[in-house]
Amino acid sequence: MTTVVHAKDVDVVRDGKLLLDAVSLTVCAGEHWALLGANGAGKSTLLGMVGAVTHPTRGTVEILGEALGRIDLRELRALLGHVNPRHPLRSPLRVREVVLTGLTNSVEPVPRWSPSARERARAGELLEMLGMAGKEEARWPTLSQGERGRTLIARALMPRPRLLLLDEPATGLDLAAREQLLTALDALRLEHPELATVLVTHHLEELPASTTHAMLLRAGRCVGAGPADDVLTTERVSECFGHPVRISRTEGRWTARAGRAVPVPRAAG
């Protein structure tokens, strides 16, 4: 199986603070990883390295066979798909135009650049797969948060990346929009079996049923990593978040509920 990401014994220190402590992660083609943990656990820091945005302080990171520190990060980022729900677009672009900016890795269309007919057709196909058929001409400001999320996934897929990174893609979505997004992600993974994905979230309810692996982070350290059903257990998730929870999985989806705290026995006397 082809290795897409290999991080080994990674430390990240910023302003004297240890943000990641000896974290290792290997992602192979066709695997769909979830990074979970409380605020400040190190999820976004790890995703930043996997996305070729930052370097580790110590340890090694290889992405698509290239070692960070030995390749121009801009070149490497062009080979990845990154979905950021806080996409900084300010212009009233049409949906199709937003998707096509994925080819130029830019927020706005590049002057004097024009996509080919095949590229325009691919943009339409991706939008249809993600449930956005009929919305190609809609303007960005008129889209709901859920529609924006699916548009950004289509944008990230335009360069045919081998690795797709999703940074809290369900942020700000209502229940219906979240379910539409997760259904679209399941369909995407089925259509592209070689694609690897890494998704960051705080909430187990935001994980698609197609999630295959998970990593739990607490205070910069990994407290569990591997196949999702082995990692997303009551005991491990409770340890990760420092709070008793009960984890269940129904029809492929996870839920978390508050667990009963174990009473502390009183001393006799």
Domains defined for the chain, CATH in brackets: 1-80+161-233 (3.40.50.300), 89-160 (no CATH)
pLDDT at 87: 87
Q: Is 46 helix (H, G, I), strand (E, B) or coil?
A: helix
Range of lowest pLDDT (159-168, 212-221, 258-267): 258-267
pLDDT in tens, 83-119: 887 888 889 999 999 999 999 888 888 888 889 999 9
pLDDT at 93: 94
204 and 232 in contact (C-beta within 8 Å)? Answer: yes
Strands 213-218 and 196-201: unpaired
Strands 221-227 and 213-218: antiparallel
Q: Is the pLDDT of residue 8 over 70?
A: yes
pLDDT in tens, 201-254: 989 999 999 999 999 999 999 999 999 999 999 999 999 999 999 999 998 999
Q: How far is it, in rounded angstroms, from Cα 47 to Cα 84?
A: 11
How many other β-carbons are positioned within 10 Å of the β-carbon of residue 86?
9
Residues 6+ apart with CB under 8 A from 131: 150, 180, 183, 184
Q: How far is it, in rounded angstroms, from Cα 81 to Cα 159?
A: 8
pLDDT at 258: 84
Q: Is the pLDDT of residue 261 over 80?
A: no
pLDDT at 105: 84
